[in-house]
Amino acid sequence: MAVRPCDPRGFTLAEVMVATAVVAIALVGLASVVPFGVSGVQIGNQMSAAMFLAQDRLERVRGATWTLNPDVDCLGKSSNASTEPQSSTCNSHGSNYSTFGTDAADLTNLNAQGFYGYTRTVRIFDCSNSTYTPLCSGTGAQQISDPDLRVVQVKVTYTPLVATGGLTGSPLTVELDALVAKRGRATQ
């Protein structure tokens, strides 16, 4: 096989055409993958925002006053999975005070902060209540039944964008659950 010596005149037209075709095919392949990469980054961004919103509300719930002496309950309880937590003993507020606002008011607040398309719900249940107790459930010695312990459930739902720039139509939900104990409980 003979090696062609370097030609000082440059490449032939055929060599340039082949090289151009190879580069064009590579660029077309790369261009078809870029929207999916951008979509993955966007979905990750939206999930991070949902986690931030859930964690933010969970921290606010954990900071709410719920004490034994004096008997103050600004944490509240949800009567079922579709109602906001309410309290009748939250300082100067009247009975059935919605402790973390209504779901509709929170949606307005999220939109005002630039989180369009996100919804957030807070539900709080007693561990002595059988309505919602996955964190309290168990059998035998693992079962928790304590009126001074509550399960906090924060859900943030959003519809992610896809590679084509539209919405998928199937919303995703980030859920954070935590146990909160009453403060100031007398030792036994």
Q: Say how far apart CA 47 and CA 35 lie, in whole Å.
A: 18
Determine, yes or no, domain membership for 1: no
Percentage, residues of the chain above pLDDT 90: 18
Return d(Cα 109, Cα 129) in angstroms, integer: 31
> Do residues 62 and 75 lie in contact, with contact meaning Cβ atoms separated by under 8 Å?
no
Amino acid sitting at position 175: E
Asked if 153 contacts 123 with a C-beta cutoff of 8 angstroms, the reply is yes
Answer whether residue 23 shows pLDDT above 70.
yes
User: Does the structure show a pLDDT above 90 at 1?
Assistant: no
* Number of domain units in the chain: 1
Confidence tier at 75 by pLDDT (50, 70, 90): confident
Domain assignment present for 107: yes
Q: Cβ distance 145 to 136 under 8 Å? A: yes
pLDDT band at 106 (very low <50, low <70, confident <90, very high): confident
- CA–CA gap between residue 147 and residue 182 (Å, rounded): 9
186 has a pLDDT exceeding 50? no
Amino acid at 166: G
Return the percentage of the chain with pLDDT > 70, whole number: 77
Question: Global pTM?
Answer: 0.73
The amino acid occupying position 94 is: G
Longest C-alpha distance within the chain, in Å?
98
In a domain, 6, yes or no: no
Predicted confidence (pLDDT) at residue 185 exceeds the cutoff of 60: no
> Does 23 fall in a domain?
yes
Sign of the CA dihedral running 140, 141, 142, 145: positive
70 or 132, which is more confident: 70
Non-local (6+) Cβ contacts of 102 within 8 A are 84
Average pLDDT over residues 135-140: 62
Residue 42 resides in a domain: yes
Question: Is cis: bond before 134, omega within 30 of 0?
Answer: no
The verdict on residue 8 lying in a domain is: no
For residue 7, being part of any structural domain is answered with no
Split at pLDDT 50, 70, 90, the class of 36 is confident
Instruction: Flag whether 87 is in a domain.
Output: yes
125 in Cβ contact with 160 (< 8 Å): no
Using the predicted structure, report yes or no on whether residue 140 has a pLDDT greater than 60. no
Which residue segment(s) compose the domain that 139 sits in? Answer: 14-181
Q: Which two tokens stand for residue 181?
A: 């104990």
